[in-house]
């Protein structure tokens, strides 16, 4: 057992022994199907702290020759797979954490350092089969395969750290990518490559240097959806075990949406919340808001407008195909938004091609970034939203109308009213602070139509009234209020036992001062 060659199962043993362990061993059942096929090159990209390294520890324990992991997988999901025994501890595994090599190389060439380290262990194990021991890593692996017929499984962690941490060193990036291509592509000694990082495979020139890889990313994880984070079922079980409120857990950490699994949770944050028995910003606290600040300050193609829309609860269209899979080549706003999807700051609906802010934890990170990025107009709206909500709850129509006028003035340079949808986004932003105590729902099916905005009190805010808000553009607040009644929107809240406040809002763009008007009525 070595550091790089067949590291053994100690890493996975630590995971299993941890206070909170969620069984994701079914992942190996998928990778078993890929061994020695044309799909054997796998690149899985996920945000930081989304369980990438833990998955590699599990695969290392399962595949590594020289250790007995049968008991370690006893009772796990993988044990029930038909292929479990066929691949258990049957392969020579080469485990590479690229970040460790980048740090350890110091002034030495990183790829040369990597070769030296791995060759030392290979020669110790297989030197007797080789006539010469002065060859490079690729030729040595070819020689071992020729003499023994044994293939290798490559497990590579932090594959993209060179791209992320040496953003401006194009020479090093190209050298590194060429090294990986020479080591892995079309080599007879490769049985499987499972490579993880935050970014998908880097592109340069007209083609990718690693175009043999099948990519499974936050934009499209395909068969690995349920291994991207925690599923709804897994989080429900944890909430039961640790006596935590599931709906509040969802509000804080849910929001990553894929084709089959519509509710995928941030695993790091869920685990921390269960351990600490409180809800807070755990994932984002592992890295400062400076990382996000840099990217949202890039106002490509009205990127600021997109961020404001998402804060207001509205998704934005994104073309993810032009992104060059690095952190410096940005040509459009879509490139920046796509990077934020890969970093986990945005969720992504693959069918609608839309990005959105996934949960309360991430929304808080956007607030932090904007507060120091010169977004003073938006921050003034957010900071005033508490007073707007208070005025609404006490039925102060004049103060609500004036508050909306002020909010519109603040964001007019970023978000322009041109229809009821953009008006709804701005109003949602103006009521931003309500989300501490309320669940906000846009376009809720209600009675004979869809209510524009509904605020439902969270369990922690029991006793507060619900709000149904109807918006009109160049009509009247009375018309908006009457529509709520005529179309029986309150029927959607039949199971709600508290008071309901009906709010009709109109924006008159043709008036001299382009003012909002408001009508408020409370019902039991």
CB-CB neighbours of 125 under 10 Å: 15
DSSP assignments along 68-108, one per residue: --TGGGTTSGGGGSTTHHHHTT-BEEEEEEHHHHHHHTTTS
> Which segments of 243-300 does DSSP mark as H helices, in order?
246-253, 267-276, 290-296
Burial of 285 (0-12, 13-18, 19+ CB in 10 A): middle
Mention every residue, 6+ apart, whose C-beta is less than 8 A from residue 325: 163, 199, 200, 201, 202, 203
Cα–Cα distance for residue pair 19/276, rounded to 1 Å: 12
Which helix or strand (DSSP H or E) is residue 114 part of?
Answer: helix 110-126
Tell me which residue of 226, 120, 101 sits closest to 161, measured CA to CA.
101
pLDDT of residue 289: 59
Q: What is the token pair recorded at 103?
A: 């740090």
**3-state SS class at 232:** helix
- Cross-strand pairs, 354: 317, 349
Selected from 2.60.40, 3.80.10, 3.30.70, 3.40.50, the CATH number assigned to the domain covering 10-216 reads: 3.40.50
- Please answer whether residues 6 and 152 qualify as being in contact, where contact means their C-beta atoms are separated by less than 8 angstroms: no
Instruction: Give the pLDDT confidence score for residue 514 in this predicted structure.
Output: 63
| Ramachandran category for residue 255: left, alpha or beta (phi over 0 → left; psi -120 to 50 → alpha) | left
Strand 41-45: give its sheet, edge to edge.
92-97, 152-157, 190-197, 41-45, 214-216
Give SS3 for 387. Answer: helix
Q: Could you count the other beta carbons within 10 Å of the beta carbon of residue 253? A: 29
Strand segments, DSSP code E, in 170-279 are 190-197, 203-204, 207-208, 214-216, 230-231, 264-265
Q: Where are the domains of the chain?
A: 10-216, 229-374, 386-523
Q: What's the CA gap between 463 and 499, in Å, rounded?
A: 8
| Structure confidence at residue 133 (pLDDT) | 79
Q: Could you list the pLDDT tens digit for every one of the 524 residues in the chain? A: 789 999 999 999 999 999 999 999 999 999 999 999 999 999 999 999 899 999 999 999 999 999 999 999 999 999 999 999 999 999 999 999 999 999 988 878 999 999 999 999 999 999 888 877 788 999 999 999 999 999 999 999 999 999 888 888 888 888 999 999 999 999 999 999 999 999 988 665 544 678 899 999 999 999 999 999 999 999 999 999 999 999 999 999 999 999 999 999 999 999 999 999 999 999 866 555 567 888 887 777 778 889 888 998 889 999 998 888 888 888 888 999 999 999 999 999 999 999 999 999 999 889 888 887 778 888 889 999 999 999 999 999 999 999 999 988 888 777 777 777 778 888 999 999 999 999 999 888 887 888 899 999 988 888 899 999 999 988 999 999 999 999 989 888 877 888 999 999 999 877 666 689 999 999 87
Inter-residue contact 457 to 501 (CB < 8 Å): no
Determine the 3-state secondary structure of 381 from DSSP. Answer: helix
Angle at 226 between CA 225 and CA 228, to 5 degrees: 65
- Nearest Cα to 69, choosing from 31, 32, 25, 27? 25
The answer to whether 286 and 49 are in contact (CB under 8 A) is yes
Q: 386-523 maps to which CATH number?
A: 3.40.1350
């Amino acid at each position: 057992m070595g550091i790089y060659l067949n590291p053994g199962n100690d890493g996975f043993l630590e995971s299993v022994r941890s206070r909170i362990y969620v069984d994701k061993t079914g992942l190996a059942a998928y990778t078993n199907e890929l061994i020695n096929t044309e799909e054997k090159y796998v690149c899985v990209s996920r945000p930081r702290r989304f369980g990438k390294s833990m998955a590699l520890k599990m695969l290392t324990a399962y595949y590594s020759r020289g250790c007995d992991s049968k008991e370690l997988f006893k009772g796990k999901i993988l044990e029930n797979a038909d292929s479990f025994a066929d691949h258990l501890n049957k392969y020579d595994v080469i485990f590479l954490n690229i970040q460790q090599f980048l740090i350890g190389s110091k002034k030495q060439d990183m790829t040369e350092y990597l070769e030296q380290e791995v060759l030392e262990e290979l020669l110790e194990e297989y030197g007797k089969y080789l006539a010469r021991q002065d060859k490079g890593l690729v030729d040595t692996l070819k020689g071992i395969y020729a003499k023994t017929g044994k293939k290798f499984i490559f497990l590579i962690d932090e594959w993209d750290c060179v791209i992320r941490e040496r953003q401006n060193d194009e020479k090093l990036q190209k050298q590194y990518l060429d090294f990986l291509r020479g080591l892995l592509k079309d080599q007879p000694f490769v049985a499987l490559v499972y490579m993880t990082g935050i970014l998908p495979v880097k592109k340069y020139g007209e083609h990718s240097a690693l175009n043999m890889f099948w990519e499974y990313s936050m934009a499209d994880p395909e068969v690995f959806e349920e291994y991207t984070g925690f599923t709804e079922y897994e989080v429900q079980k944890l909430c039961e075990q640790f006596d935590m409120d599931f709906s509040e857990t969802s509000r804080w950490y849910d929001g990553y949406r894929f084709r089959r699994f519509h509710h995928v949770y941030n695993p790091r944050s869920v685990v921390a919340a269960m351990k600490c028995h409180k809800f807070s910003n755990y994932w984002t606290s592992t890295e400062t808001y400076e990382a996000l600040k840099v990217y949202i300050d890039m106002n490509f193609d009205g990127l600021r407008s997109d961020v404001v829309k998402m804060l207001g609860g509205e998704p934005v269209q994104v073309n993810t195909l032009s992104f060059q899979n690095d952190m410096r080549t940005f040509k459009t706003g879509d490139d920046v938004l796509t990077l934020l999807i890969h970093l986990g700051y945005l969720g992504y609906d693959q069918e609608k091609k839309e990005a959105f802010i996934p949960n309360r934890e991430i929304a808080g990170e956007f607030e932090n970034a904007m507060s120091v990025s010169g977004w003073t107009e938006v921050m003034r709206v957010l900071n005033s939203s508490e007073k707007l909500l208070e005025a609404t709850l006490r039925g102060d129509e004049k103060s609500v109308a004036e508050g909306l006028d002020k909010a519109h003035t603040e964001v007019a340079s970023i978000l322009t009213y041109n229809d009821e949808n953009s008006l709804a986004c701005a109003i949602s932003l103006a009521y931003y602070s309500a989300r501490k105590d309320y669940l906000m729902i846009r376009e809720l099916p209600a009675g004979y139509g869809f209510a524009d905005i509904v605020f439902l009190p969270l369990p922690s805010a029991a006793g507060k009234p619900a709000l149904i808000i109807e918006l009109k553009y160049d009509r009247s607040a009375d018309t908006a209020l009457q529509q709520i009644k005529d179309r029986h929107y309150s029927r959607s809240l039949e199971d709600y036992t508290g008071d309901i406040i009906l709010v009709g809002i109109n924006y008159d763009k043709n008036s001299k001062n382009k003012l909002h008007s408001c009508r408020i009525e409370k019902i039991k």
